[in-house]
Structure 1
Amino acid sequence: MSHDTVVDPRALRFGAALTSAVLALVLVTPSPAREIVLGAQTVVFALGVFVSLGASPWSWLFRAVVRPRIGAPDRTEDVRPSRFAQAVGLTFALVGLVALLAGATTVGLVAVGFAFVAALLNATTGLCLGCELYLTTRRLARTLA
């Protein structure tokens, strides 16, 4: 498990943009290719959740190609909300993948559609629904404690 505590918010939006593109591809690609593409994106989510955000191929690509051209960030963000968001994405991707493999195409594509909308929203506006859910549940937990 990584001990990374902060993340470049530009890397998050870059990753969300690539994730959006991959999930859009899943939505328009016929079977069995869509299950392969969704399986690959599921692995990307799992790396972010179980290893570190920096272990994601999208993070590697940002560090290797984008960040050298744009420089260090002006600010960083706590990594915990973003890792939680990756877990939410992983959940939707797994539901979608299992449903598609089981022949429940509508359920699978709806799950992928939810993940796509969340990733696209993050990529285009910076609003991370999974991060907001993390912060809301933390506030609720403190209130109930």
Structure 2
Amino acid sequence: MLLDPRGPRFAAAVTTVVLAAALIAGSLALVLTQAVVFAVTAASPRLGPYTLAYRALVAPRLDPPAEREPAAPVRFAQLVGLAFMLLAAVGHLAGLPALALTATAAALAAAFLNAAFDFCLGCEAYLALRRLTGRPVPARVPTGPA
């Protein structure tokens, strides 16, 4: 499955806002909500809540993408985000605010890198792991002339 790379970047922008709010408010509810978003998007990148918003509200106003990206790196990045949100939730529930703050801040930093600079840390980690195992995959695939 190939994705419009602008969709995950839009999702990262929304995630940045949600996680910044979670940090400011110290909100377990926002952490858990974002965990659900990460889980749904990891299961099916095309059905993620932020992806659906992108496809309904943003994509119709844009030209078709010049290139697409494989879904596997995006799924991996979403699983990494989910792991950090689960750590943050454990921190909240166990009365370990440093763990909650650190895990949320790490996920926020990764989301911000993607949103602001089009650098998906989780995707790059996935691609590096694939190269290390001798099974590289392309980061982006040209769509050809429109």
1:88 matched to 2:84? The reply is: no
| Partner deviation per Cα, 1:37-92 (whole Å, 9 max, x = no partner) | 11110000000112x11111100100110011113212111111111000110100
Matched with 1:120 is: 112
Measured in 1, the distance between the counterparts of 2:95 and 2:46 equals 34
Query: Quick one: distance in 1 between partners of 2:6 and 2:93?
Result: 34
Q: Does 1:69 align with 2:61?
A: yes
Partner of 1:13: 9
**TM-score, length-scaled by structure 2:** 0.89
Confirm or deny that 1:139 pairs with 2:131.
Answer: yes
Structure 2 residue matching 1:77: 3-state secondary structure: strand
Report the counterpart of residue 32 of structure 2 in structure 1: 39
Q: Contact 2:42–2:74 (CA<8 Å) still a contact in 1?
A: no
User: In 2, Cα distance between the equivalents of 1:22 and 1:107?
Assistant: 18
The aligned residue for residue 20 of structure 2 is: 24
Instruction: Report the identity percentage.
Output: 43
Letter of the aligned partner of 2:7 in structure 1? A
Deviation string for 1:7-40 (max 9, x for gaps)? 111111100000000000000004xxx1011111
CA-atom RMSD in angstroms: 1.1
Q: Counterpart of 1:127 in 2: which secondary structure?
A: coil
2:55 paired with 1:59: no
Per the normalisation by structure 1, the TM-score is 0.90
Runs of at least 5 residues in structure 2 that lack an aligned partner in the other structure: 136-146
Q: Which amino acid aligns with 2:40?
A: L
Q: Read off the aligned partner of 2:126 and give its amino acid letter.
A: Y
- Give the Cα–Cα distance (whole angstroms) in 1 for the partners of residues 90 and 39 of structure 2: 15
Extract unaligned runs of 5+ from structure 1. Answer: none
Runs of 4+ in 1 over 3 A off after TM superposition: none
